[in-house]
Amino acid sequence: MIIPVRRLAAVCALGAALTACGTSPAPRPAHPAAPAPSSASASASASPSASAPAPVEPSRAPTLAPGPGGLTPVFKHGPRTLGKTVALTFDADMTADQGPRAAGGERFDNPGLISALRGLKVPATVFMTGRWAEEYPAEARSIGRDPLFEVANHSYSHYAFTGDCYGLPTVSEDRMRADVERAYTAFRTAGVPDAMPYFRFPGGCYDQRALRAVSGLGVTAVQWDVVSGDAFATDADAVVQEVLDGVRPGSVVVMHCTRSAAPVTERAVRAIVPELRRRGYRFVKVSELVGASPGRS
C-alpha cells in the first residue's frame, strides 16, 4: 500500500506494517501493506504448494513489447496526449498466511468501495492477490464478471520480489514465476473468467532480477504515477487532495480496497470521481491505456 513520501514519518510508527514501492535504483515512495507475517511463517508459506492446480493462462489483452534484454516491460502511465483519461487501480492485498487474522474478523476486502464504484459507474482495475481470491471467492468472481472492472495479478503471496521492500517477507527468486502463476490459478478456481496479463509487484518493489524472473509469462508490470496515500490514512480529504493534485492525462492512480488498512478509500473515491469528471476527465481501465501506448505488441 502506498502513501506520499512527505507523510512517511507518521506511517513509520506502524513498524512491521510498512512495505515499500517503486523501482530500483530510482527513489521509492513508501507503501505500507497488510502487516507482514513472522519470518518463520513467511518461510513456510512463500513457495506455492506442489499440489496446487496447474497454472492458468491470463487473458490475452493488450500488452507491451518486452523491455530491454527481453525483460518484462513496465507500464507507469498512458500517453499524455491521449486526452483527459485516468485509470483508478485498487490493490486487493492479502499475504499468504493471514487466514487466521481473517478468521478472527479482520477485513481484507471492502465491498462498500466496490459498491461505490458501481454506483458511480467508474471502470477500474483491481490488482488482486491469489490469497485474497481464495479468502473472498464470491467477491473475486463478482468483480471478475462485472464488465465495469478487470482483475489483474498482484502475486499469490504478496511477498516481496526484492530484498529491500520495507519489511515484507520475500519470495525466493526460483519461486517468483510460480507465485505469479499460482495467483492466476486461484482466480480460475474462484471463477474469475478472464484475468488480465498485468502484474503489480507487491509493494511495487522490483529490480532487473525480478523482471527477468517473470519474463516469459507474457505479463506487463503495471506501476503508477499518482500515489493516493490512502493506506492507513484517517483523513479522506487529504487522500482526495493527493489524487487531484497528481492526476494528469493518462495517469494511473494507485489505491487500495483493503478495509482494515485503507479505511477512508471509499469516502475519498466518492469525492474524487465527481471532481475529476467536472474537470473533464474520463475514467478507463488500465487495458485502455496500455492499448493506446507506443510499443504495444
- What pLDDT was estimated at residue 64? 94
pTM of the model: 0.84
- What pLDDT was estimated at residue 296? 60
Which residues contact residue 284 at a Cβ distance below 8 angstroms, ignoring those fewer than 6 apart? 85, 86, 87, 123
Residue ranges of the domains in the chain? Answer: 5-34+60-291
CA quadruple 259, 263, 266, 269: dihedral sign: negative
Q: For residue 128, which phi and psi values (nearest 5 degrees)? A: -110, 140
- What pLDDT was estimated at residue 59? 73
175 vs 173: CA distance, rounded Å: 5
Q: For residue 205, which phi and psi values (nearest 5 degrees)? A: -90, 125
Q: Could you check whether the bond before residue 25 is cis, i.e. omega within 30 degrees of 0?
A: yes
Paired residues of 113 in beta bridges: none
238 vs 96: CA distance, rounded Å: 31
Q: At 212, is the secondary structure helix, strand, or coil?
A: helix
Q: How many residues does the chain have?
A: 297
Count the neighbouring beta carbons within 10 Å of the beta carbon of residue 100.
Answer: 10
- What pLDDT was estimated at residue 57? 66
* Location of C-alpha cell 517468483: 176
- What pLDDT was estimated at residue 7? 43
Q: Which set of grid coordinates corresponds to residue 33?
A: 501493506
Domain 5-34+60-291 annotated CATH 3.20.20.370: yes
- Over the chain (297 residues), the average pLDDT of each successive run of 10 is 42 33 36 39 38 58 90 97 96 94 96 98 98 98 98 98 92 98 98 97 97 96 98 97 98 96 97 98 98 77
* CA distances from residue 68 to 10, 65, 158 in whole angstroms, order as listed: 38, 10, 26
Count the neighbouring beta carbons within 10 Å of the beta carbon of residue 251.
Answer: 23
